Chains A and B, each alone.
Chain A
Amino acid sequence: MESGVQSPEKVKPKTLLPKFGPGAGAGEIPKKPEGPIEPSMSDPSGERAAPPRRVSNPSELAKGLVPSIIDIDEPAALDVQGLDLWYGTMQALHQITLVIPEHRVTAFIGPSGCGKSTLLRSFNRMNDLVDNVRITGSVLLDGKNVFDPDIDVNMLRRRIGMVFQKSNPFPKSIFENVAYGLQVEGRTRKSELHDIVVRSLQRVGLWDEVKDRLDRSALDLSGGQQQRLCIARAIAVEPEIVLMDEPCSALDPIATSKVEELIEELKHDFTIVIVTHNMQQAARVSDYTAFLWLGRVVEYDQTQTIFTNPSQQLTEDYITGRFG
């Protein structure tokens, strides 16, 4: 469209003192020479009709994609380098390289099957439980690759805890659920267990709700309470990192809100990595967000940047719902 503004050199020469008075016009409104002033909306062929919205073709956009990965200038809790993962012959992760910063909430978003849960489960080797998994590359925890053969997987999972999509309390009492990990570690002193159980339940905001029924079955709790109990169980052993795989997808909005508030609190003591389908949740709770697509990290940046001004068209199209 022709520029609507004339540059100074193109401005027509000034007429000296234009007519101002009875001879200046005859009441009729003349059209401006550059075209109709009333553009528009009533006339679909008008020059100012809004152009149609673009709907993206992700396959086209992905051609020649160069991922945007932020260089995080913070201490790393995990350093993922060139991670590839295959389920049998199907490659689920491609050359994932990113840093998970300490004491921050990092969210993984992306469509179903993009590899975000697979990536999350790689961090504490939960994928070891799946047949035919092959992994190359590294995930460094304190400089040590978690895939090294001499890694004690139980110790690894103590340092990197996990909360699952569906709350999974053991069919035991509330107290025993939280104390379970400690007992497995061989810590059996009652007063120590009691103190840690109380502190863990307080940290997840569940203490006031259950303090009078610690010996009751955890299965009697509501869904939201059960999920917070699972978080209490995960943090009771003082892991460094807590992985959360869609922790709120089975919860109602109030329970979801409590878990989200909890995540904000927990990041002061733990590093949190969360997989979520709910983009608003990622926007609310996380400091950094990675967008994955077809097993690749398309963009990794501060959450505020991802949700206000992402640098990749593919990210923009996914978060604004223009995939099609």
Chain B
Amino acid sequence: METHLHREVSQLKGRILELGAMVENSLRKAVLSVTQRNPELAKEVIDGDGDIDAMEVDIEEDCLQILALYQPVASDLRFIVAVLKLNNDLERIGDLAVNIAQRAEALAAEVPREMPYDFQGMADKVQQMVKGSLDALVNLDADLARKVHRSDAEIDALHRDVYRRVYEGIDHNPRDARFLIPVLTIARHLERIADHATNIAEDVIYTVEGKIRRHQL
């Protein structure tokens, strides 16, 4: 028996996944705009953020409407509450992709230089976390969500390593700060994106298991 509520929840699921795909795409372009020194790609990311913001608002309104009209309970309630929260995380990932794209524009104007750390490796891992968190959401896979959660420590370690290298680089040659500070900022944005993917994973675990595991994993 398919009820109104279940149709609404199915549509909501479709929309949050659509937003997830938009955010993933934006993040991928932002990373490429850095590696390819491509300001046009960076501009696409910056210009596309309005669509992500609009969709976030639409999804929040959908959630509020479902809560008000259907008073969902149990797994339906947990799913909608999780969507309300991770909707915001996705929008923030979109914002951070914009921030990365803005740094890419600035770096593209500089003389080309090698990154002082494995930027591509870190960006790949962060993108995998975002993808994993969304896959976990689609399939309500708490095990996959836990894997995403565990990956966050690795990204934190990479970020600390970048910080150390940048610190040493500036110490060695203060004139490199103009290049190294944006580099550090990008790493910081990637680290924050990983945090949001972790939040999404925690919301998936709550949806599946009904227990709030935040700060306990």
A5–B134 contact, CB under 8 A?
Answer: no
Check: A151 CB closer than 8 A to any chain B CB.
no
Check: B88 CB closer than 8 A to any chain A CB.
no
Number of interface residues of A (CB under 8 A): 52
Check: A90 CB closer than 8 A to any chain B CB.
no
CA distance A39 to B25 in the complex (A): 10
Digitize B11-39: 1 where CB-to-A-CB distance is under 8 Å, 0 elsewhere.
00110011011001100110010111110
Number of interface residues of B (CB under 8 A): 64
Interface centre among B14, B36, B128, B133 (most CB of A within 10 A): B36
A37–B115 contact, CB under 8 A?
Answer: no
Known A-B contacts A40-B21, A320-B73; the reply to A22 vs B10 at CB < 8 A is no
Check: B217 CB closer than 8 A to any chain A CB.
no
Check: A324 CB closer than 8 A to any chain B CB.
yes
B113–A37 contact, CB under 8 A?
Answer: no
Check: A189 CB closer than 8 A to any chain B CB.
no
B74–A320 contact, CB under 8 A?
Answer: yes
Interface residue ranges, B against A (CB under 8 Å)? 1-3, 5-6, 9-10, 13-14, 17-18, 20-21, 24-25, 28-29, 32, 34-38, 40-41, 71-78, 112-121, 125, 127-129, 131-136, 138-139, 141, 144, 147-148, 151, 154, 209-211
Q: CB < 8 Å: which of B37, B121, B147 contacts A5?
A: B147
CA distance A216 to B18 in the complex (A): 64
CA distance A321 to B75 in the complex (A): 11
Q: Do most interface residues of chain A lie in helix, strand or loop, or is the interface mixed?
A: loop
Chain A positions within 8 Å of B5 at CB level: 320-321
Tell me, rounded to whole Å, the shortest Cβ–Cβ distance linking A209 to chain B: 30
Check: A27 CB closer than 8 A to any chain B CB.
yes
CA distance A307 to B210 in the complex (A): 11
A17–B114 contact, CB under 8 A?
Answer: yes
B18–A41 contact, CB under 8 A?
Answer: yes
Tell me, rounded to whole Å, the shortest Cβ–Cβ distance linking A213 to chain B: 38
Tell me, rounded to whole Å, the shortest Cβ–Cβ distance linking B15 to chain A: 8
A53–B28 contact, CB under 8 A?
Answer: no
Known A-B contacts A37-B24, A320-B75; the reply to A5 vs B113 at CB < 8 A is no
